[in-house]
């Protein structure tokens, strides 16, 4: 069973591609969280948990989802991260989580995909995105091959020497930088409500036809990138920047 979280669509793409290649079910963590109850999974096939990398780890929301869910049937756990280029120390935390839950950690792999963090960076050009997806498709096929044979996944993006810095970078990033305070809707807002539906924390509500952000936020970029009129800005950091939303669907033919 493939279980994924995605803010702007890259990981949804990766999860769906793996679902096709492994002929397995694909489930969206965002939808499961919204149901509120503790999730009890059952699968005879290995579990493949897919998420983006945020500051060199899986998002806190995903780590706590795994901690608070039950995985029955197979106890084999694979982890696939999409990222811009660096997976940091994500694997170590997931390995520990598996150990604590009595699950069999079968490896972790990072797949580079287009950058979505427009608060800090720019989105790559369409041409560059095509190149990145070409490489990602090849990597996803390699990953599916390993999982299909119950092999051990390895991370080709392993940072080795930089890994220990995750212990500093990740808490600093989430403590000092990740906040909803700077989100605002400009007068381009039509009050369509789309931003309220895509937030994994259901943190956004409409007040007098305009979005208002609650305190819970993981900077997934879903709200700002999904707005059909590009009415959302994050302070001045996103003004004039292209938004990133992956609308591609995997085009995989099974022989
Ligand atoms: C808050 C945040 C932090 C990020 N941190 C990293 C990082 O540490 N390393 C990296 O390579 N990419 C990082 N990225 C880029 C994303 O991991 C990458 O674009 C990912 O594929 C987005 O997946 P999604 O479209 O499924 O949300 C970050 C993105 C966001 C939004
Ligand atoms: S998605 Fe954009 S246009 Fe729609 S309510 Fe939100 S900010 Fe306004
Ligand atoms: S407020 Fe926006 S960026 Fe923050 S978690 Fe919700 S959708 Fe993601």
pLDDT tens column, 195-214? 999 999 999 999 999 999 99
User: What is the number of the ligand closest to the CA of 226?
Assistant: 2
Q: What is the pLDDT of residues 54-68, one digit of tens each?
A: 999 999 999 999 999
Ligand nearest to the CA of 194: 2
Does position 254 have pLDDT exceeding 80, yes or no? no
The CA 84 to ligand 3 mean position distance, Å, reads 19
pLDDT digits (tens, 9 = 90+) for 149-180: 999 999 888 777 777 888 889 999 999 899 99
Range list for CATH 3.40.50.360 in the chain: 2-167
> Confidence band (pLDDT; 50, 70, 90) for 230?
very high
What is the per-residue pLDDT for 235?
96
pLDDT band at 255 (very low <50, low <70, confident <90, very high): low
Phi, psi of 136 (to 5 degrees): -65, -40
pLDDT at 110 over 70: yes
Ligand 3: residues whose CB is within 6 Å?
7, 180, 198-201, 203-204, 213, 217-223
Class of domain 2-167: alpha beta
- The DSSP code for 88 is T
Q: CATH fold of 179-234, please?
A: Alpha-Beta Plaits (3.30.70)
Q: Is the CB of 189 under 6 A from ligand 2?
A: yes
Residue 78 has pLDDT above 70, yes or no: yes
Give the distance from CA 91 to its chain's centroid. 15
Q: What does the alpha-carbon distance between residue 148 and residue 107 come to, in Å, rounded to a whole number?
A: 13
The predicted pLDDT at position 85 comes to: 95
| Residue limits of CATH 3.30.70.20 in the chain | 179-234
Angle in degrees, 0-180, between the axes of helices 126-148 and 10-22, rounded to the nearest 10: 40
Q: Which of 195, 208, 233, 238 to mutate to test the pocket of ligand 2 (most atoms within 8 A of CB)?
A: 195
State how far the Cα of 58 lies from the Cα of 29, in Å rounded to an integer. 13
Identify which of 194, 221, 228, 245 to mutate to test ligand 2's pocket (most ligand atoms within 8 A of the CB): 194
Q: How confident is the model over 113-150, as pLDDT tens digits?
A: 999 999 999 999 999 999 999 999 999 999 999 999 99
Q: What residues contact 16, with CB distance under 8 A and at least 6 apart? A: 26, 249, 250
Specify whether the CB–CB gap between 41 and 72 falls below 8 A: yes
DSSP-assigned states of every residue in 220-233:
--HHHHH-TT--EE
């Amino acid at each position: 069973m493939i279980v994924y979280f995605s803010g702007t669509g890259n990981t949804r793409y990766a999860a769906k591609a793996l679902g096709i290649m492994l002929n397995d079910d694909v489930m969206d963590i965002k939808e499961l969280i919204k149901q509120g109850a503790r999730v009890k999974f059952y699968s005879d096939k290995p579990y493949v948990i897919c998420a983006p990398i945020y500051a060199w780890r899986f998002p806190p929301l995903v780590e706590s989802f795994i901690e608070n869910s039950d995985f029955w049937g197979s106890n084999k756990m694979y982890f696939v991260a999409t990222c811009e280029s660096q997976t940091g120390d994500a694997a170590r935390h997931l390995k520990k989580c598996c150990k604590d839950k009595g699950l069999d950690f079968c490896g972790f792999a990072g797949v580079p995909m287009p950058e979505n963090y427009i608060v800090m960076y720019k989105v790559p050009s369409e041409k560059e995105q095509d190149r990145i997806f070409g490489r990602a498709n090849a990597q996803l096929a390699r990953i599916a091959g390993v999982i299909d044979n119950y092999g051990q996944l390895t991370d080709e993006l392993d940072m080795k020497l930089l890994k220990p810095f995750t212990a500093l970078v990740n808490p600093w990033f989430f403590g000092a930088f990740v906040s909803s305070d700077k989100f605002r809707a400009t007068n381009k807002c039509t009050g369509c409500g789309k931003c309220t539906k895509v937030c994994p924390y259901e943190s956004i509500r409409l007040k007098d036809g305009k979005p208002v952000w609650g305190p819970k936020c993981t900077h997934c970029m879903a709200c700002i990138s999904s707005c059909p009129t590009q009415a959302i800005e994050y302070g001045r950091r996103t003004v004039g920047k292209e938004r990133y939303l992956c609308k591609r669907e995997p085009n995989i033919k099974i022989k």
